[in-house]
Amino acid sequence: MTTQQIQPQAGDAVFCINGSQIGRLATIDGVIGKKPDCGEYFVCFTGRSYRTETHVSSSGGPVPLIAPEDLIFTGKTITRDFWDFRNGVGAGMGVDYQLDVNLWYWKGENCNHYMRAHNFSIEKKKHRTNKCNHLIQSLIKESGIISSTLNANKLDDIYLLRGGFKVDENRCSEFSIGRCPTRDSVGIAVLEAYRLFQKFTLNYPKPLNGEKPYCFAYCETLGSGNKIIFNNKQELDNFISAYKIKIDSKKGGWGKTLLIPNNKVKSWKPLVAVKAAHRQEG
């Protein structure tokens, strides 16, 4: 069978190369060897699917419908995780196994909250992920080395700044339980957003029941829940300047401003550590 004759079927893998699911793998659900009656394929973005000799069913999501012409066969296979009941049906009787299946690319939908990727592939995703992970580890190491030069009595006496912007003072909700004075948590958030092709959405909280908002503004990536908090406009401006963040010319949902993360760490302003008694504002 030639590449042109191969058709998508239940159990095959789909890799998204654009849009809100970019970089994620999905599985085609349905009856194996049979085209779906509706003419479009149900795919589920999940890491493991239930598969018998005749059917594939997945749990998770999202679950978009994809037209056959929107799937591009890569000519490659990929190993995927499946499970089924082989020795009777019951709790704890599922059997896990792996199977090589055909790999398809899906262009996805256009979504301005995500960066476009040129000629994206599963290999490029691995490279991007490895590069960002390396940059994050280097950032953590750099933060620790800079902090250690102060010889402070305790870590709470240290603040990290990048171009006058405090990077570790409960900026990110991920670290909101307490300060992490030897970690540039904001820089990590910027690199994580870049790794996932996500842009930051800028939000301005409104007063509720006459109470003052808890901050001037915050930015977050779509669906992450992690926020970078700004107490005033100067802090927001300092953040954009410190990390060389670009403001997108196009607006996001509800007309909100989008910020494009910058992964070029060498272009960021230098990281410095100061003692609490001498820390700068903003």
Does residue 234 share a domain with residue 126?
yes
Structural domain that includes position 64:
3-106
Shared-domain flag, residues 167 and 61: no
- For residues 141 and 236, membership in a common domain is answered with yes
- Judge if 50 and 128 occupy the same domain: no
In contact, 270 and 243? CB cutoff 8 Å: no
Asked if the structure places residue 117 within a domain, the reply is no
Q: Are residues 71 and 143 in the same domain?
A: no
Averaged pLDDT in 10-residue chunks for the chain of 282 residues: 77 90 91 89 89 90 84 94 83 86 88 79 91 92 76 64 79 48 82 91 87 88 78 94 95 90 95 68 47
Q: What is the pLDDT of residue 175?
A: 40
Chain mean position to CA 111: 14
> Within a domain: residue 112?
no
146, part of any domain:
yes
Question: Considering the domain boundaries, does residue 111 fall inside one?
Answer: no
pLDDT of residue 178: 45
C-alpha distances out from residue 239 to 214, 230, 247, Å: 18, 9, 12
Q: What is the pLDDT of residue 142?
A: 86
189 and 96 housed in the same domain: no
* Domain count for the chain: 2
What per-residue confidence (pLDDT) applies to 281?
A: 47
Residue 87 lies in a domain: yes
> Which residue, of 44, 74, 106, is where some domain finishes?
106
73 domain residue, yes or no? yes
64 part of a folded domain: yes
Both 88 and 156 in one domain: the answer is: no
Does 91 share its domain with 134?
no
Instruction: Let me know whether 85 and 225 are in one domain.
Output: no
Cβ proximity of 152 and 266 under 8 Å: no
Domain co-membership, 171 together with 102: no
Quote the CA–CA distance of 93 and 165 in Å, as a whole number.
Answer: 55
Task: Tell me, yes or no, whether 85 and 167 share the same domain.
Answer: no
Reference 200, options 220, 225, 217; nearest CA is: 220
Are 199 and 230 within one domain? Answer: yes
